[in-house]
Structures are given as structure tokens and as C-alpha cells.
Amino acid sequence: MTVRTKENGSHWVESVVPAHTDNGDGTSGMVQRQCTTKFKIEPITRKMRDLVGIKRGQKAIGVIQWIGISLDEVHRMKMSREPWRVNRYPLVDARMRRSDCLQWMERHGFPRPPRSACYFCPMKSNAEWRLLRDEEPEEFARAVAIDHRHRELKREARGDKGLPYLHRSLLPLDQVDLSTDMDRGQGDLWGNECEGMCGV
């Protein structure tokens, strides 16, 4: 998040993270998502230009970029915006869905991968936030710091309206109750006794 100043001296806040927002009137919203462009597409494009020595506007070189979108995400396929680059989708060409990829990884002895997301992604479920907190405490602490910093910058620029939060509850991340029903004393009502005979 960056505070920008307009020519008239007023301030606005540019955020690339799709934070949840408190609109101050009992409603909530979400900041427009720009993180894929800013954190993935633009840096990869810059690095490709550097590696191949492509100047801005150059059209002659044919770089092939492989993108790991699977068949169940075919709606995400796009033509390259760069005249020197061609996008290829090998998983789509191989007719592989996400489940096929997971089976391939299991057959070849790889661990099941987590969902691809930044450590501070506001799209996380409580289970994902818990996992980050418990398994990657340093990254969780960095996410908490980002969460607080977003609100500090927003307050400096525009006051309290539309404050951003990384968690959908509109609470500071370090104050969110991430416990499960089991953690709160709700036992497993089914135990391990289910034999698939419900209703019989």
C-alpha cells in the first residue's frame, strides 16, 4: 500500500492487495485486486526482458512462456500482451485437470502442494491463516505487520472510512479468533464410529 499525493495536495491510497474494507456504514467491501499483475506478471516480464535483452517495443524475438494453468482453469488462458512473447499452456494441452496434477505428484513421490497464495493474501480461509500462524510464525508476524500498516497509511491519507483488513472479519489479524469448533470445546459428534449406515 502506498500513499499518493494528487496535484491539489489531497492524498489517496494505492493498494494492490484485495483487502477487506469497513465502509463505516455497516457494510463491507473489497479493494480491487491488482496483486497478480504487480507481484507476478510485471516482475516476470521484466526479468524475461533482462534475460533475453529485449528493449521496450521490440517485436522480433519469440520467447515462449509456459504457464501452469490446468484444464479446469481454461477460462484464465490469455494471449500474450507482449509482441515478443507467446504463451503456452502445457497442462491444458495435455488435458490435465488439477486432480490429475495432484495424482501425478503423488505417483512420483512429491508432497501435496498447498494452494498458491502470498503469505498476506486476504483470500485465505481460517484454516490457512491457522496453518500460517502455527507452521510459519515469522511469516504470520509479517502478515500482522502488513495488516496494521495498511490501516496506518489509510488513516494518514483519508481518515477512518474504508479501513483495510487482511481478514474478512474486519478485525486486526492478530485479534481474529482462528480457533476451530473443536478448539472451543465442540467435540466430534460422530466420533470415528460412522459405518456409512446413516438412515438405515
User: Tens digit of pLDDT for each residue in 8-20?
Assistant: 555 445 556 888 9
Residue 51 burial (C-beta neighbours within 10 Å; 0-12, 13-18, 19+): exposed
Over residues 31-37, the mean pLDDT reads 80
Per-residue pLDDT reduced to its tens digit, 52-66: 887 776 666 788 999
Is pLDDT above 80 for 191? no
Return contacts of 24-32, CB within 8 angstroms, 24+ apart: 24/160, 24/161, 24/162, 28/168, 28/170, 29/162, 30/122, 31/164
pLDDT at 108: 97
Q: What are the pLDDT digits (tens) for 86-109? A: 999 999 999 999 999 999 999 999
pLDDT at residue 59, as a whole number: 67
Give the start-to-end residue ranges of the domains of the chain.
2-175
